[in-house]
Amino acid sequence: MKDAQKSLDFYTQGLGGKMVFSFPMSDDDAKTIYLVDMGGNAVIEIIPRGNGEEELNAHWAHLAIRTDDSRAAYDLAIKAGAVSKMEPKEVKLGTMDACIAFVYGPDQEVLEFFQVL
C-alpha cells in the first residue's frame, strides 16, 4: 500500500471493517501491518510497500467482497472516497443471478461488491 493509514481509514471508517490486530513489519521497522475484519470470515491485510522491485511492482486483479446489498456497499464506498469503476448491475453468471459493482479503493486497488440474488 502506498498510504497504509489512508487504506486503514477507508476499510474501517469508510466500509465498517474492524481493525483486529496490528504488528510491526519487523523488529526494527517503523512500518505497521494491519489486519481488518470485514465480516463473513474475510480479513484484509494492509501492508505498507517496501523498497524492493518485487514489492513496488506487485499487484492483483481485484478483491471480491460478498455482501447482502451491492448497491448499498457501492454507495458506502463512494461516500468513503472510492472512485467508481462500474455502477451496480444485475448479471447472470452461469446459472446464478448476481448484482455486482466495482470501485477503485484508496490505493487504486479494484474492489468488487458481489451479491447473490
Alpha-carbon distance of 71 to 61, in angstroms, equals 21
> What local confidence, expressed as pLDDT, does residue 87 receive?
98
Which domains are delineated in the chain?
4-116 (3.10.180.10)
> What local confidence, expressed as pLDDT, does residue 82 receive?
96
Q: Where residue 103 falls among pLDDT bands split at 50, 70, 90?
A: very high
Q: pLDDT digit string (tens) for 21-69?
A: 887 876 666 778 888 888 887 878 787 766 666 556 555 557 878 899 9
Q: What is the reported pTM?
A: 0.66
Cα dist from 21 to 35, 79, 108, whole Å: 5, 26, 24
Alpha-carbon distance of 77 to 16, in angstroms, equals 10
Alpha-carbon distance of 74 to 87, in angstroms, equals 8
